[in-house]
Amino acid sequence: MDKLDFKKLMKPYWQPAAGVFSLIEVPKFRYVMIDGVGDPNTSEDYQRAVQWLYGVSYALKFMSKADLAKDYGVAPLEGLWWARDMKHFAALGKDQWHWTAMIMQPAWIGPDQFERAVAKTRGKLGEPPASLRLEDLEEGLSVQIMHVGPYADEAATIARLHAEYLPANGLVETGHHHEIYLGDPRRTAPDKLRTVIRQPVRRA
């Protein structure tokens, strides 16, 4: 049985150059998603969302392997982030951040498999978050960059993206700030963490 390697398949979207902004057209991908509000470092809702995302994602992986003879590695955690007033996003307390935590799924995963995976995970974690869903996201034209280092040090790169790169290139943000967490903070030194920072845009 061949095992789908997301790291190779997703290389254009998960491996931008470090320290250099680049434009890319991001197609439609399928995700398991959960919404919430609050500081990801302290929010119980965020920690519960991550538990559920991985629980459902691994249930889907094993289901796909057993039922469809299609195996793959579970994709990394991703997040969409925003605030009611994006002009002050960086200055706001993290407890005021809105987020959608999500994990990408293969295109062949559909509603039936998702519902079965939720039912299986419910047996371990109890009732799921109300916003748990399977949904497609197509970001289209986007700017992205690889941030290497602690999550807390992303602010300077994000500020440079919005204050310098976008206006200099005639671009305007359209969707939510997007991060893809390629490193595991439990096993990786903070200065070695790799995070894709992405911003959907349109031409002004």
**Each residue's pLDDT tens digit, 181-195:** 998 777 778 888 999
Task: Tell me the two tokens of residue 81.
Answer: 């982030």
Nearest CA to 49 out of 39, 32, 38, 34 is that of 34
Task: Tell me the two tokens of residue 108.
Answer: 């062949």
What does each C-alpha distance from 17 to 13, 146, 150, 183 come to in angstroms? 11, 6, 17, 16
**Each residue's pLDDT tens digit, 97-113:** 899 999 999 999 999 99
Give the pLDDT of the chain (204 residues) as one tens digit per residue: 678 989 899 999 999 999 999 999 999 999 999 999 998 989 999 999 999 999 999 999 999 999 999 999 999 999 999 987 666 566 556 778 899 999 999 999 999 999 999 999 999 999 999 999 999 999 999 999 999 998 888 888 998 999 999 999 999 999 999 999 998 777 778 888 999 999 999 999
User: CATH classification of 3-203 is 3.20.80.10, yes or no?
Assistant: yes
Q: pTM for the complete prediction?
A: 0.94
Nearest CA to 76 out of 178, 161, 191, 190 is that of 178
Q: Give the span between the Cα atoms of 101 and 80, in whole angstroms.
A: 7
Nearest CA to 34 out of 90, 93, 98 is that of 98
Task: Tell me the two tokens of residue 114.
Answer: 């998702």
